[in-house]
Structures are given as C-alpha cells and as structure tokens.
Amino acid sequence: MDVKRDITLMIVADHQSFRDILRDIVGREPRFQVVGEAFDCEMTRRELARLKPQVLMVDLDMPCLEGLKVLRMIREQSIPVKVMALTMHKEKEIVNAAMDLAVSACVLKENAANEIVSALEILSRGETFLSAPMLELGNRWRERARESRQCETQIESLTPVERRVLSLTGEALNGGEIAGRLKMSVEVVEACQQRISGKLGLGGAHGLLKFAFDNCGRMA
C-alpha cells in the first residue's frame, strides 16, 4: 500500500552533499516528500513557482548572503511557503535577520539530524520552532514583533490627517512648518498632535516626537 506523503518540501543549499544529507534526514519520515532542490536565489524563485512546495528548507550559510536573499525574495513576492532556515551560527545578528524575514523555523546544523523532523511536525501544525540555543533570541524577537504589531494597530486607529501630522512630526518639523505643509493653522496642528498623543497613550514633552521618529516608515 502506498504511503500518503502530505507535506512537500524543497531544499535550497549550494552544496550537493548538504542537500543529500537533508534529503536523507527528511526521508526518515514517510509524511515528508522532497519535491525539488535549488542552489541560489534565482533558481529558487523558478522552482517555487513550478513546484509550489509547502515548506522551503534554506541554508543561511551560502556564500554572498544567498540564503538571506532567498528569504527577502519570498517576503517581497509574498510567496505562500513556510520557511525553515538552517545555520551553523548562533549569533543574534543571523538569527534576528532570519526571524525578521518571517522564517517559521530556525535550526542549528549541529542539531539538524535530531531536530529537523520534529521541526517539520511543528511547522505542519502552524507553529514555530527554534533550536534550543536560539530560544532566548527568538523570545526577544517575538517581543519586538508584538510591539511592532501594537504600533501598527495604534497607527491604524488614526485618521488620515492625524497620520500625516504624525509623519511630519517624525521629520522633526515644528508646528508652523507642519501647518504650512498641510495648509492649516498652527492651533489646528497642535490640537491634532494632542489628540494623537491621547490615542497612542503618549506622555511627556517628547513622547510624540520619539514615537513619530521610531515609526516613520509605517506611515508612508
């Protein structure tokens, strides 16, 4: 009787030997099927469009930051695939860069043989996975992500005029300069800034300016 293979995967790594190792590890679990391979970003883009795997396993240690290029390409093109990043590095810069690009799992290569199948099972349930040494960094990233979502929700609560005033405040313009840009009185600008501070729960003389400066990219 044929075994149902209900999770399809694609492997991205520049070395054939590493791709073979990953195939062997994944092959231990009948539910998982490797449907394709790629060795750089452009090939990954083509094969993702052709094969449409559910999970993409990416070697972050490829030369010329090719692994991060793959992650950026997936995010920029909104490709519907879950990503497992594999790396030999434990440094926060590597982990945070991967997490910021929305990987669903990050596995240390030294733990790959023991963790990949478990990580794939966790991904199949819609959850995320990090190798143990990365957990603290991952927790910090999730806290930043939570704060980021909170900021986005707060900004969405503002009216278009309030968002424009907040954006110009983040450019360090004073009330008169903002009034000139928006063709309104200084009094109206100041009242608008007070409403924004109230909605966002900001206090202090520089609270609004700091929030506007830190989140200027969200109001484009």
Q: Which of 2-16, 29-43, 84-98 has the highest mean pLDDT?
A: 29-43
**pLDDT, the chain, mean:** 86
Q: How far apart are CA 218 and CA 166, in angstroms?
A: 11
pLDDT at 140: 63
pLDDT at 55: 95
Domains, the chain: 7-146 (3.40.50.2300), 157-219 (1.10.10.10)
pLDDT at 217: 58
Closest CA to 85 of 41, 129, 48: 129
pLDDT digits 0-9 by tens, 113-148:
999 999 999 888 888 888 877 766 666 666 666 676
Please state, in angstroms and as integers, the Cα–Cα distance from residue 19 to each residue in 15, 36, 48, 75, following that order: 6, 10, 16, 23
- Mean pLDDT for 183-207 is 89
Q: Which run of H or of E encompasses 105?
A: strand 105-108
Closest CA to 135 of 112, 160, 162, 108: 108
pLDDT band, very low/low/confident/very high, at 17 (cuts 50, 70, 90): very high
Residue tagged 């799992």 (tokens)? 105
Closest CA to 113 of 18, 214, 212: 18
Q: Residue 37: pLDDT above 90?
A: yes
Q: How far apart are CA 85 and CA 78, in angstroms?
A: 17
pLDDT at 207: 85
Q: How many CB atoms lie within 10 A of CB 90?
A: 13
pLDDT at 83: 94
pLDDT at 148: 65
Q: What percent of the chain has pLDDT over 90?
A: 50
Q: How far apart are CA 79 and CA 71, in angstroms?
A: 10
pLDDT band, very low/low/confident/very high, at 188 (cuts 50, 70, 90): very high
Please state, in angstroms and as integers, the Cα–Cα distance from residue 176 to each residue in 31, 164, 197, 210, following that order: 64, 14, 18, 19
Q: Which of 9-18, 23-32, 95-104, 211-220 has the highest mean pLDDT?
A: 9-18
